[in-house]
Amino acid sequence: MLDVHFNDWRKNRTPEDKKRKHEMNIFELIFSRKATELGLTIEGHELINIFCVGNERSPYSLSKRTEIMEIEVKVPYNFLEFLCLESTEAKFKEFKRLIHLYVVPVLLEYSPLPKDVILELVDRSLNQIPNQNYEAVFLAGKTPKKSPSRKRVALLKGVHRVEGFQLYCEVYDARGMRIVNKLLVEEIGEPNAYSRFLGKLKWQSESLIVVKSPYSSWQATIEI
């Protein structure tokens, strides 16, 4: 397993900056999953945790925290440079630059794989991000689930993008035509934040669906 995470470690961050720190998460998520799938690893460590201190005079430092299987890297990069970029494509280009600038050197030093293999796997993992249209789409709530008559099918679909997370309920009729596409939740793009909405979907009747969170009192109803 390999997990890469960038942290905005600047002083005097504004409340708005703190709200937007999640915008890189989808890139980290897709990159890390693909890298793990391809076998890109660091022996004895699972996390490369990069702290962007936002100070050009701050020295680069690296420490291995073997007890928690983490390599911690402090870099002078100002996370605001990423946040100020407007388009998803521009943000991805900057993320790609940061991976090569700060993550690749760690991999070259600590991965048991040869240099040419590491570079190839890094590029393949990065390419997976635009290949997935810069988003992760997944089913939740053990769906799809059929209605009591078994003529309709409902599913919960999560969509994680740079802008954040959205949870939809979609319902299809017996012909496979979508008859409902309801937005249930909008949340920041942070799995720890939106996971509380990934609850259970239950058909109450042929025309009523209820989605409940297993972790809170939140619930949503969908009428057909």
- What are 142-200's pLDDT values in tens digits? 899 999 999 999 999 999 999 999 999 999 999 999 999 999 999 988 888 888 888 89
pLDDT category at 41 given cuts 50, 70, 90 is: confident
Instruction: Tell me whether strands 219-223 and 61-65 are parallel, antiparallel or unpaired.
Output: unpaired
pLDDT category at 120 given cuts 50, 70, 90 is: very high
The residue ranges of every structural domain in the chain are 3-131, 136-223
Residue 13 pLDDT greater than 90, yes or no: no
Does the global pTM surpass 0.95?
no
List the one residue out of 159, 150, 147 whose CA is nearest residue 198.
Answer: 159
The pLDDT value given to residue 98 = 97
The pLDDT value given to residue 88 = 95
Distance, in Å, from the CA atom of 82 to the CA atom of 62, rounded to the nearest integer, reads 22
Cα torsion through 64, 65, 68, 74, rounded to 10? -80
Cα torsion through 113, 48, 55, 92, rounded to 10? 80
The helix (H) or strand (E) run that includes residue 6 is strand 3-8
